[in-house]
Amino acid sequence: MVRETSLSPAHLIAPLFITDGTQATQPIQSMPGISRVSADRVVEVAQDLAELGIQSVILFGVPDQDRKDPSGKESYSPNGAVQRAIRAIKTSGSQLVVITDVCMCEYTSHGHCGILDDNHFLQNDETLEALRRIAVSHAEAGADIVAPSGMIDGAVGAIRDALDTSGHQSVGILAYAVKYASAFYGPFREAAGGAPSFGDRRTHQLDPANRGIAMREAQLDVDEGADFLMVKPALAYLDIVSAVHEAHPGVPLVAYNVSGEYAMVKAAAAAGWVDEQGIVIESLTSMRRAGADLIITYHAADAARWLKD
Ligand code: PBG
C-alpha cells in the first residue's frame, strides 16, 4: 500500500542481436538464454515479447566477418541485417517501439566505434558523417528511435540534423549520454563481435571514477536535441542515474543493465548460489528507484513473465 516504486513489463526494453543469413538462431555462450537471430526470425521473437507486455526492443547488428572493412560501410547498407529486421517488424503490423543502436564497432574490421587515421586515432568528425548515414538508413527502414552509442562528440546534433533534413523529423533520439569505459561490457563484445582488435575505448568512454563529466555529457546531449538520456552500465552507477534524473527532470531516462551484469547473475544462479528471480526483480526495482524511467535488460522476457505471475 505504501510502496513508492513500480516495476512492470512496460518499463523494460529487450535487446536483440540480429545476424546476417536466414533461419539462424545462435546461442551466445557468455549470456545463457540469449541468442543472435537472423532478420527472418525476428518477427516471431518480437511477437513473443509483445505478448509478455514488453513495448520496445533495441536492435544490434552482428554482420558476417566478410562484410566488415575499415570504413564500416555495411552499417548504413539499406539491406543490412538491422535494416531488414526493422522492416520485418514494422510490416508485420507489430505495435512494438523499435529502437536501433547506432554505432560502427560491429561493422569496422578493427572493431573501433568510428573511422581511424593512419596512427590509429579515432577521427571524431569524420565519424559523424557515417553516423548520419546509419541513422537515416534506420529511419528509412522504419525505426522509431535511434540510439547513438559510440560516445562520439556531436553525434546527437549531427543525427538530429540528418533526420530532419531527410524527412524523418518524427524519429526520436535516445542518447547513450553517459557511457563509462566498463569491464561490464565483456560478454556483449562476444555477442556482437565488436571487440577492438587493438587499443581500448578509454579516450571517448568515461572514467568510472568521475561524476562531473557525466553531468556535462548529459547536458550536452540535451542541448543537441536528445529525446531520452541513458546511463550505462546500471548497477554500479546508480548514483549517476539518480544525479542525471535530478538534473534533467522530465527527460525520459534509461538505465542499461549491461551484459556483464546479466552474465554474473546467470552464472551464480546456475551454480545454485543465488535466487535468480529475487536478484533480478530487486536489481531492476533499484534502477527504477534511482530514477530510471526505462531499463534495457537481457532479463526482459524472464522479468516480464515473473511480473505477470
Ligand atoms: C557499442 C555498444 C556496446 C554495448 C552497447 N553498445 C559495447 C562497447 O561499448 O564496448 C554494451 C552493451 C552490453 O554490455 O550489454 N556499440
Give me the mean pLDDT over the 179-193 stretch: 93
Predicted confidence (pLDDT) at residue 190 exceeds the cutoff of 90 = no
Residues 152-179: pLDDT tens digits?
Answer: 999 999 999 999 999 999 999 999 999 9
Q: Which atom of ligand 1 is nearest to the CA of 296?
A: 15
Cα–Cα distance, 157 to 225 (Å, whole number) = 6
Predicted confidence (pLDDT) at residue 302 exceeds the cutoff of 90 = yes
**Mean pLDDT, all residues of the chain:** 96
pLDDT above 70: percentage of residues in the chain? 100
Predicted confidence (pLDDT) at residue 23 exceeds the cutoff of 90 = yes
Give me the mean pLDDT over the 233-260 stretch: 98
Q: CB within 6 Å of ligand 1 — which residues?
A: 101, 103, 105, 149, 185, 188-189, 194, 201, 258-259
Residue 70 C-beta-side C-alpha neighbours within 13 Å: 9
Give me the mean pLDDT over the 22-48 stretch: 97
Predicted confidence (pLDDT) at residue 309 exceeds the cutoff of 80 = no
- CB 204, CB 113: distance < 8 Å: yes
Q: What band does 195 get if pLDDT is binned at 50, 70 and 90?
A: confident
Pocket test for ligand 1, best of 149, 174, 258 (most atoms within 8 A of CB): 149
Q: Which atom of ligand 1 is nearest to the CA of 104?
A: 16
Which residues contact residue 13 at a Cβ distance below 8 angstroms, ignoring those fewer than 6 apart?
54, 56, 57, 58, 99, 254, 294, 295, 296, 297, 300
Ligand 1 centroid distance, CA of 105 (Å): 9
Q: What band does 196 get if pLDDT is binned at 50, 70 and 90?
A: confident
Does 90 participate in catalysis according to the annotation? no
Pocket test for ligand 1, best of 100, 176, 185, 231 (most atoms within 8 A of CB): 185
Domain locations in the chain as residue ranges: 9-308
Ligand 1 centroid distance, CA of 142 (Å): 23
pTM over cut 0.85: yes
The pLDDT of residue 193 is 83
The CATH topology of domain 9-308 is TIM Barrel (3.20.20)
Residues 55-70: pLDDT tens digits?
Answer: 999 999 999 999 999 9
* 275 three-class SS: coil
The pLDDT of residue 158 is 98
Give me the mean pLDDT over the 30-42 stretch: 97
Give me the mean pLDDT over the 211-230 stretch: 98
Q: What band does 52 get if pLDDT is binned at 50, 70 and 90?
A: very high
Quick count: other Cβ atoms within 10 Å of Cβ 156?
Answer: 25
pLDDT above 90: percentage of residues in the chain? 94
Quick count: other Cβ atoms within 10 Å of Cβ 48?
Answer: 12
Buried b (16+ CB within 10 A) or exposed e, 216-255: ebbebbbebbbbbbbbbbbbebbebbbbbbeebeebebbb
Helix 238-247 vs helix 212-224: angle between axes, to the nearest 10 degrees?
40
Ligand 1 centroid distance, CA of 189 (Å): 7
The pLDDT of residue 8 is 98
Tell me the residue length of the chain: 309
